[in-house]
Amino acid sequence: MALKATIFKADLQIADMDRHYYGGHALTIARHPSETDERMMVRLLAFGLHAHDALQFGKGLSTDDEPDLWRKDLTGAIEQWIEVGQPDERRILKACGRAGEVIVYSYSNTSNIWWSQVGSKLERARNLQVFNLSSASSSTLASLAKRNMQLQFTIQEGQVWITDGEETVHLEPAMLSVRASS
């Protein structure tokens, strides 16, 4: 018998001073049985950082042709493709060919090793941004994971504060690579 996804509910209130975006989102998140709280919360962080009415979660770890999050325009063209973790460089390059903007959030102790192996292979990708979260930050973020969450995001000057009313987590995603679309 296959294990089923665990359903989480998250009510996000986002104040993003960098993008001048202020809004609320009621989200339902399916956590795959092999996914950790840490990875799920990094996906939620990525949603908060790029919140938009059209931003959606992909089908999950079991689907190779969809990202963790994406935003499509009204014609179905992919405007934004967001990956969490340490995706293979072929997957990233394929995403760069399909989407207007590709963003990767890496979050483990081995991120620097991963980036040293794939970074040079991704130099030609002009629509790619890669960020790293320290493993201490992502594990602290995981401590906010609950089946029903009410989280407030405050984003200013590249720094993020997330609170559930009792605990506050401060994050500062570090840029590993930024390539502006030409």
What single DSSP character describes residue 121?
A: G
Give the tens place of pLDDT for each residue, 4-62: 889 999 999 999 999 999 999 999 999 988 899 999 999 999 999 999 999 999 886 65
Residue 1 covered by a domain: no
Range of the domain at 130: 6-178
Give the tens place of pLDDT for each residue, 143-156: 999 999 999 999 99
Find all residues with CB under 8 Å of 173, minimum gap 6, and list them: 49, 105, 131, 132, 133, 158, 160
| Residue range 150-165: mean pLDDT, rounded | 97
Counted domains in the chain: 1
| Residue range 58-86: mean pLDDT, rounded | 89
Cα(106)–Cα(86) distance, integer angstroms? 6
CATH number of the domain where residue 56 is located = 3.10.640.10
Residue 55 covered by a domain: yes
Residue 27 covered by a domain: yes
Residue 114 covered by a domain: yes
Going by pLDDT thresholds of 50, 70 and 90, the confidence category of residue 182 is: very low
What pLDDT shows up at residue 1? 57
Residue 96 covered by a domain: yes
Give the tens place of pLDDT for each residue, 91-149: 999 999 999 999 999 998 888 899 999 999 998 888 999 999 998 999 999 999 999 99
What pLDDT shows up at residue 176? 86
H or E element at residue 45: helix 37-49
